[in-house]
Structures are given as C-alpha cells and as structure tokens.
C-alpha cells in the first residue's frame, strides 16, 4: 500500500516535472519567436536601403534620397547632454540616500516616490518638460537642452535606483574597515564605496540612457520638429531624434518610406545593441574583479 | 514628531538645495553663452538663417517638397518643419514661435485675435487643392457613390448606424466600421463642417488616428469599412482602396484632378493654406522662400498627390508677398 503510493507520487512528480519544463520552455520560445519575427521583418525591409548615403544625407520628400544624418546627430547630442545632467545628480542622490541620510520615515517616503516616478508614463514627462523647460526656462525655444533635461527627469529615478543597488552591493565589512581606520563618511565613500560601486552604476546608467534613446513621446512634445536638414551645433540648437524620424516616415503616404523607416529602425537597434553590450562588458569586468 | 521631521529636512536638505542651486546657475550660464544667432545679417548673394514651420500633416508633404527644392539653391537656409496638426501649429504660430503655419482649414477668429494681441500680424496664402476622399476597401463591391445626406446619417453626432443595410435600402447586411482622422486634424474639422454642418460635430465611436496610414491600412483590410482622409493618401494607395463618389444633389462626382480644381467635387474639395507672420517677411530668406513657394508650389503639389491652383492665382499671391496686408477674419 505504502509502496504503491510512493511510486504513484514519483510518477506524478515526473509528469509534473516534464509538464512545467515544457511550459516554461514554450514561454521562452514565444518571446524569442516574437523578437525573431520582428527582427527578420525589419531586416528584410530595411537592409536594402541601408548604406553610407543613408547615414550621411538629410531627410527628403523622395524616399530614396532620404537620409538619417540630422536625427542621428540629434540623438547623439541629446544622449550626451542627458548623461552630463543625469550622472552627477543621480549618483549624488544615491550616495546621499545610502551613505549619509539617516534612515527614517522621510527617507523612506523619498525612496518610495523615486520608485513611483520610475513608473510614470514618458509622455507625462514630455508635458512637464514643455511647460517647465521650453516655456518657462527657455522662453519658447525648443532646444536640445530642454530635450535633454526632460529625458534626465525621465531616467533619473532609474539611475538613482541602479546606483543605490550598486552601493548596497559593496560589502559592509569594507566600509567598517574604513571607519575603523578613523575615516570620515566622505573619505569612506570616496576611497571605498565609489571604486567598488562605479562599474555597477555605469551599467545601470548606460541601460537607462538606452531607454532615453528609444523615447519618441516626450521628444515629440519638446522638439515637435520632424523634418530637419541641419546638424545641431550648440546645445541651444533645434533638433530631432531617431524615434521621431522613424515615426514620421511611417506616417508618410508613400510605401517606400516604410522601408526607409525600417532602415532607420536598424540604425536605432545597432546603437542600442552597442550601448547594451558596453553595459554587459562593464558588468562582466566588475564581476571578475570582485571574484579575485 | 512633525517638528523633528522638519528639523531633519532642514539640516539634510539644505545641502541638496544648495547643490541644485549651483547646478542651475551653471546651466543658465551655459545657455547664456550661445545665444540664438538665427537672424543672420542679410547679404546680397547667399541667404542664410532659419525659417521655422509647423502645422497640418496634410500640407506637410507640400511644404517639405518646396523646402527641399528651395535648399538646393540656398543650402545655408535652415527650414525645420513640424507636423503638429493645423490646430497644434496655430497654437505655436499665435505666440510667435513659428514663421509659417501649415493649415488644412481656415484660421479661426479666436486664433487671429490671439495672434494680434501678441503683436503678430499675419497673411494667408493658398498653396494647393485637396479633395477630401471618402474610401472603402477594394473588396467592397456594393458602394460606388454616397450622397452627402447618407454621409451625414453615418457620421453625424449621435448616429448609431452600424450596418450597411441601414445606410441605404438594397445595401447588403454587412457590419459598417468607420475610420477617420483625430480631433486635432484640420481634415476632421473640414469634413465635419461640410457634412455634419458644424465643425467638430461627429460621432465618436470610430477608429480615429492622426496617422493617415493607420486609416489606410484599417480600411483596406476590412470589407465593411468606410473612411475619409486627404487625396494624396488615396493616390498613393490606389491598389488597396476604392474611392467613393460623392453626390451633393447634382449627381455623383469622383474626386480627380479636374473635378477638384474646377470645384465640381463639392463640397469636399478644399484649399490647403499657409499662414505667414508678416514681420518675418523682413527676413530675406522667408520672403525668398515664399516667392519660391508660389513659383514652384503648384508642380510640387501635383508631385506629392494634390492639385495645383491656376497659374494666375499663384502669381497674384506672389505679388501680395511684397505688399502684405494684415489678415482680417471674414466674420469681422
């Protein structure tokens, strides 16, 4: 009696095992298939149009004469400016919250709000940026700085949270050793915490910046330009970015513009891929070093 | 308790506020240093500077084509163009952000007053004809022509028609699905005004999109669909769409270059417009651009799928550019 029950339960356990194996496997396959279909579709549509001319020419009404130079340059500008604004503020906030602030109700409230801000839809930040930066700060000038500041607001919560995680990962024994030597909090932060945490922060920051690159909605509110035939020269220039250009091309009447849009998507994907692999590289390097 | 928290805020946030203040000072300094140098000194030969344009997505292809050709001989002139819709474009125009506003409807009295109160004088130029096109799917074999009354019964506010058999006796029992532009569109304003008798008066339970290609795809894939949008989008998608003639009492008329230009495709043929800030005409690049627009706008409008005005109309308007008169709204 007892033995039959045992074999039964072993059988059912095995059945369950295989069932869940295939359930989970099929979930993975669904995700990968969707990605593969998307990539193949974009590559088939876009690759024939992707050449050096496409990267160095401006937008045109004729699909075959169209290029992506202005939005490409705009994207690079915006990302660099966003990084300049985000990195110091984001890291400083994380250091304050983790190392300096007394953990209390107020700090918990701030942290809760930061996590909430990370979930606010990006178009809301676009409206905020339009009102605060474009109309109030720059008197109606839709320049690169307002675009970058808006994206800064968008990714700042993500950067803060990622930096906090990186700081938390520094073993407290390291810090305690520093304090035992009589170091001040700032000395510990500078000599112990930051060198350990910066690689982790960097990969978080790069991932956040690649999110900023893909955003069309807030930039549509800020720039509202979709046909630009110049490369921005100062942070005060008007600009457009890749997702916005792709969005415009898709909405044009001529069929060929959809293939041009696909070529634009490939450019965007390549940039994102490069940035993400840099993030992965930094993380791997960091892991190796801490294992040593 | 609250006092305690406040103390804590005061001590710890003081530094935060201070560092933010330093950051923002740095920021202002950074922006102050590169002022907008878009208004370049006028030179005899080469034009430079910036012409800022925003507005209707329907007029967008025409203005882009003109800007592109203009820049062939004037590569130093920067012409950034936006596509915020007629209403969205006017919002920027009346506060002086843009030099030229594309529009697929006439400017409203309130918008003119707002511009004038901001010290902006404006002039209106016609750039091309558009025949607002009513379309069904290629696989629809029973609709060739609809009267304006039938269109109104379909699209009017409060209409609950959801089957073709309700539109006209003899139409098959097929579900009717509607596609049209969103409410920020000049096309929507024009269609509702002409068909339903009042701007923006429309039923709301239809698939609305500011992106006309979404409408094209929706209609072409759905045998029970009915939609409307600018003529250029029909011309570019002829193989998947079927055009519906419109009968406004004197027989069915199909939109074509001829019927749109001579006005027999009524009431859905309309003029595409641009509005110009008169003070911008003092910038030589803006004046040159507009004269170029009047010289070549017709052929370029044809190229992108619209219908050119008569040559006489273009040259009359070109003369107006040199002697601009502040626009007065017809209702005044």
pLDDT in tens, B35-86: 334 444 444 568 899 999 999 988 998 999 999 999 999 999 999 999 888 9
Query: Is B126 in a helix, a strand, or coil?
Result: strand
**Taking CB atoms and an 8 Å limit, are A140 and B12 in contact across chains?**
no
Per-residue pLDDT reduced to its tens digit, A185-215: 999 999 999 989 988 899 899 999 999 999 8
Q: How far apart are CA A164 and CA A91, in angstroms?
A: 8
Confidence of residue A79 (pLDDT cuts 50, 70, 90): very high
pLDDT at A290: 59
- Per-residue pLDDT at B1: 42
- pLDDT tops 50 at residue B26: no
Q: At what angle do helices A144-168 and B2-33 cross, to 10 degrees?
A: 140
The pLDDT value recorded for residue A250 is 87
Give the residue-averaged pLDDT of B20-38.
44
Cβ-based burial of B159 (10 A; exposed 0-12, middle 13-18, buried ≥19): middle
CATH code for the domain defined by B133-267: 3.40.190.10
Name the percent of chain B lying above pLDDT 90: 61
In chain A, the residue whose alpha carbon lies closest to the alpha carbon of B216 is A253
* Chain B CB contacts of A89 below 8 Å: 23
- Mean confidence (pLDDT) of chain A: 90
Domains B49-129+270-322 and B133-267 alike in fold: yes
Contact in structure between A229 and B79 (CB atoms under 8 Å): yes
Is some CB atom of chain B closer than 8 A to the CB atom of A226? Answer: yes
Residue closest to B204 by CA, chosen among B172, B159, B235, B242: B159
Statement: residue B25 has pLDDT above 50:
no
Work out the minimum CA distance from B226 to partner chain A, whole angstroms. Answer: 18
d(CA B288, CA B297): 13
H-run or E-run covering B120: none
Quickly tell me which residue has 């069904």 as its tokens: B136
Class of the CATH domain delimited by B49-129+270-322: alpha beta
Q: Per this entry, what is the length of chain A?
A: 292
Residue A127: predicted pLDDT:
93
How many Cα atoms occupy the beta-carbon half-sphere of B87 within 13 Å?
Answer: 13
Q: What is the pLDDT of residues B230-280, one digit of tens each?
A: 888 898 889 999 999 999 988 999 999 889 888 889 899 989 999 999 999
Chain A residues within an 8 Å CB radius of B236: 253-255
| Model pLDDT, residue A37 | 95
Q: What angle do CA B282, B285, B290 make, to 5 degrees?
A: 90
Task: List Cβ neighbours of A27 (8 Å cut-off, separation of 6 or more).
Answer: none
In chain B, where the domains are located = 49-129+270-322, 133-267
Say if residues B223 and B139 touch (Cβ distance below 8 Å). yes
> In order of start, what are the domains of chain A with their CATH numbers?
53-291 (1.10.3720.10)
List all residues 6 or more positions away from A129 whose beta carbon is below 8 Å from its beta carbon: A146, A147, A149, A150, A153, A218, A221, A222
CA distances from A51 to A57, A63, A240, B118, B275 (A): 10, 14, 21, 47, 38
């Amino acid at each position: 009696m007892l033995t039959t029950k045992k074999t039964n339960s072993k059988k059912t356990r095995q059945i369950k095992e295989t069932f869940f194996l295939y359930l989970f496997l099929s979930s993975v396959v669904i995700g990968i298939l969707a990605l593969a279909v998307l990539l193949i579709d974009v590559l088939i549509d876009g690759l024939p149009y992707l050449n050096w001319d496409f990267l160095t020419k401006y937008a045109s009404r004729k699909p075959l004469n169209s290029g992506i130079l202005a939005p490409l340059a705009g994207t690079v500008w915006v990302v660099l400016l966003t990084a300049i604004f985000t990195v110091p503020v984001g890291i400083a906030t994380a250091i304050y919250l983790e190392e300096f602030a007394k953990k209390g109700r107020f700090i918990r409230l701030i942290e809760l709000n930061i996590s909430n801000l990370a979930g606010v839809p990006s178009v809301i930040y676009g409206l905020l940026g339009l009102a605060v930066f474009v109309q109030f700060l720059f008197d109606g000038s839709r320049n690169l700085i307002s675009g970058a500041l808006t994206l800064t607001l968008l990714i700042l919560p993500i950067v803060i949270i990622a930096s906090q995680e990186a700081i938390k990962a520094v073993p407290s024994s390291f810090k305690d050793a520093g304090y035992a030597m009589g170091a001040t909090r700032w000395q510990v932060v500078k000599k112990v915490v930051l060198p350990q945490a910066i690689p982790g922060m960097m990969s978080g920051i790069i991932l956040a910046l690649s999110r900023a690159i893909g955003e069309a909605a807030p930039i549509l509110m800020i720039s509202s330009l979709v046909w630009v035939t110049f490369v921005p020269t100062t942070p005060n220039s008007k600009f457009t970015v890749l997702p916005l250009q792709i969005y415009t091309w898709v909405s044009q009447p001529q069929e060929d513009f959809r293939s041009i849009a696909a070529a634009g998507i490939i450019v965007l994907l390549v940039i994102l891929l490069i940035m993400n692999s840099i993030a992965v590289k930094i993380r791997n390097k960091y892991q190796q070093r801490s294992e040593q | 308790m609250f006092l305690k928290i406040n103390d804590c805020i005061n001590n710890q946030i003081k530094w935060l506020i201070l560092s933010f203040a330093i950051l923002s000072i740095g920021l202002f300094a950074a922006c102050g240093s590169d002022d907008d140098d878009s208004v370049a000194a006028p030179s005899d030969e080469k034009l430079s500077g910036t012409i800022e344009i925003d507005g209707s997505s329907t007029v967008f292809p025409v203005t882009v084509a003109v800007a592109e050709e203009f820049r062939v001989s004037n590569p130093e002139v920067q012409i950034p163009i936006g596509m915020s819709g007629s209403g969205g474009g006017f919002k920027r125009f009346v506060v002086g952000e843009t030099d030229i506003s594309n529009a697929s409807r006439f400017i409203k009295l309130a918008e003119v007053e707002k511009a004038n109160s901001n010290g902006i004088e404006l002039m209106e130029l016609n750039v091309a004809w558009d025949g607002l096109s009513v379309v069904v799917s290629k696989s629809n074999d029973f609709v060739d022509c609809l009267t304006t009354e039938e269109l109104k019964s379909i699209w009017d506010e409060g209409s609950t028609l959801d089957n073709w058999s309700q539109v006209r006796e003899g139409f098959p029992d097929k579900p009717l699905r509607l596609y049209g532009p969103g409410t920020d569109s000049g096309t929507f304003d024009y269609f509702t005004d002409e068909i339903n008798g009042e701007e923006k008066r429309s039923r709301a339970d239809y698939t609305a999109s500011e992106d006309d290609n979404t409408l094209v795809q929706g209609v072409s894939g759905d045998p029970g669909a009915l939609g409307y949008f600018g003529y250029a989008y029909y011309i570019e998608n002829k193989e998947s769409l079927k055009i519906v003639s419109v009968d406004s009492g004197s027989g069915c008329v199909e939109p074509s270059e001829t019927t749109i230009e001579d006005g027999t495709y009524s009431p859905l043929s309309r003029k595409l417009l641009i509005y110009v800030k008169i003070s911008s005409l003092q910038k030589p690049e803006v004046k040159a651009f507009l004269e170029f627009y009047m010289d070549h706008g017709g052929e370029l409008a044809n190229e992108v799928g619209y219908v050119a005005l008569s040559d006489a109309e273009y040259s009359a308007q070109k003369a107006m550019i040199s002697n601009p008169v502040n626009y007065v709204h017809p209702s005044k």
